[in-house]
Every structure is written in structure tokens, then in C-alpha cells.
Amino acid sequence: MLISSLQNEKNSTAWVFPGQGSQQLGMGRELLDFPFTQLRLQQAESILGWSIAKLWQSDDHQLSHTQYTQPCLYVYMTLLIDFLKRSGYQPDVVSGYSFGEYLALYAAEAFDFETGLKLIKKRAEIMSRLPQGSMVTLRGFDPEKLQKVVVHTPNVWLANDNLTYAILSGTNEAITSVLSQVSVNRVIPLSVNAAFHTPLVETAAQEFEGILDCVDFQPFVIPVFCSVDFTVSFNINQVKRNLIAQISQPVRWESISRTLVQQGINEAWQIGCGRGLLKSMQQIDPSLKINNIGSTADIDSMVIRDQLKKLSIANAKMINK
């Protein structure tokens, strides 16, 4: 029923949210000029015990450490969501890449800002205690050769399903071993300090499950795409199971993108830094309209565009009368 309802919409829009590793130094700076942001940052500091605004304005590499990265991303993207909604925008479905699923749930009003931040704080603290590991993005390689080497190398896994690039996740030694055996045009280290989406973080998933069970989610006002079982859902228990499973499982964003497009999405907005998630979606459907929303300036541009579009339609109707 959800699929058919999306397909029947003239314009079905998905909001998608990137995960940890998407953060950029300076993100959120322009939001500091708004009184609403200052109120939100005060709420955040009372929960976290440290200032997100200082990290937004700093070039300190502290931002790459999990216990700081996840709360900073959460506050940044929830503000963008709220500014979008205040401007009259609402998605038809939401989805997120790993940590980004919590932003999708916030957009679906599964929890309020403070409840979500308290949950993220505990999640980040658990993950920050994980053994050191690495994640790297690879571009320009032989997929069959890479797959074969990874399968025969302990403590390293492919953490995604994209055909145009690969993400290796594992111990530093294991990743170094793979790279010594496979020719790669470009290796891009991700700003993370653990081997996410591998069995090496299963202990974090188990610890976090007990915490997540104690948090009451509200009924979703927007359907949420579950990344583990590839379904669009309003089911709270299903989504919670997904949040636990995705910690130690690969992110299959290409499969997610393909499913969303097949379900009738014809426009996608990436909320946050960059537009990496949108590239995968547009490769599957080149006609897909895409937008990146990383600042209030991006929102203002959309508002102006939509107002001009409405004016153009109204003028056309007047002419045709």
C-alpha cells in the first residue's frame, strides 16, 4: 500500500541523511546567527556537558572522534530539518545511511530533539569505547580481485554494496594488507576511529540494544525506509530492530537507492554535508531530481525557486483565460 501511494504521488520526495564520516569542519557555522539555533545549542550543552558551537567554529580534529561527531551531526541536521519544515517542506519518505537513520526518524517525528540527543549521546559513548579500527573508501580497482582478497584476509570486510566505489572496514593492519595486494587508483580515509559495519562492533550493538529498548518512540508521521530489510515502514519495533542490526552490517545504499526509485521516488534531497548519497540514486535514475540542503541559504534558494514557479504557473493560467 505504501509503494502504491508513493507511485500515485505526482511528486514523491525522499529526504536522505548521510552518516558518520560526512562531517566537515565549519558545518553549522552559518546557523549560529539564528535565535532558534542558540536555544537549541543551549539545550544540547545541558545534555552533553560540552559546546557544539565551539566544535562547529573550530578546526580541532576532535570532531572526528565518535563521541563528538555523532552529537554534532545530529544537532546540525535536526536544525536543517526544522528550518525546512518551518519553510513548509515535508518529505513523502525518509531514509538514512547508518547513523543518518536517526535523523530520518527525527524527521518522521519518532522522538523530539532532546530524546534523540540523549539517545545519540549514549550511542556515541558506547561506540567511542570500541577497539581502534579504520574505514577507507576505494576508487578505481578490480572488484573481483578486491572481493577475493578481502574474503581471504582476516579482520576486514566490505562495508557497502556500491559498484563504483568500495568501503573497507576493519583493523588498520588488515586494511593495510588488502591495499598491498590490490591496485587502487585512490584511497580516501574516512574520519572515523572504529571498524563500523563489521562483526568487530557487535559488542556495541548488544550494549546499545538495552538502551534503545527503554526509549519510547512516537508513531511516525512519515514512512521510514528500513535499510536492513529494505521496506518502507511505520512499524516502531521493526525500525528498532533495524537500528541494532545496522551497527554491525554493511550499508547497502545502492540497494536502498534502487528500492526507493522503484517505489516511485522522483525527487531526493540530501540533508547535511555533501551529496554522496544522491549520486548513487541518480546513477540508477538519471531523471531523478536532486537537491543538497546544507545551509539555510540552500533552503532560501528553494523557497525563491518554488515561489517563482508558482508565479509562472499563475501567469500562464491568466494568459490562457
- Are 154 and 231 found together in one domain? no
Instruction: Give the bridge partners for 186, in sequence order.
Output: 139
Residues 6+ apart with CB under 8 A from 142: 182, 183
- Are 276 and 139 found together in one domain? no
Active-site annotation holds for 197: yes
- Are 125 and 238 found together in one domain? yes
Q: Which parts of the chain register pLDDT below 70?
A: 1-10, 59-60, 163, 310-321
Find out whether 31 and 285 touch, Cβ atoms under 8 Å: no
Q: Within a domain: residue 321? A: no
Give the pTM. 0.89
Output DSSP code: residue 216. P
- Are 24 and 152 found together in one domain? no
The total of structural domains in the chain comes to: 2
Report the pLDDT value the prediction gives residue 243, as an integer from 0 to 100: 93
Report the pLDDT value the prediction gives residue 10, as an integer from 0 to 100: 60
Residues 6+ apart with CB under 8 A from 22: 73, 97, 100, 272, 273, 274, 276
Residues 6+ apart with CB under 8 A from 223: 2, 92, 93, 94, 108, 232, 233, 234
- Are 211 and 101 found together in one domain? yes
Report the pLDDT value the prediction gives residue 57, as an integer from 0 to 100: 78
Selecting among 197, 227, 248, 280, the annotated active-site residue is 197
- Are 73 and 103 found together in one domain? yes
The total of other beta-carbon atoms located within 10 Å of residue 4's CB is 9
Report the pLDDT value the prediction gives residue 58, as an integer from 0 to 100: 76
- Are 122 and 162 found together in one domain? no
Q: Within a domain: residue 84? A: yes
- Are 20 and 167 found together in one domain? no
- Are 64 and 13 found together in one domain? yes
d(CA 111, CA 215) in angstroms, rounded, equals 9
Selecting among 12, 95, 98, 257, the annotated active-site residue is 98
Range of the domain at 146: 134-189
CATH number, residue 267: 3.40.366.10
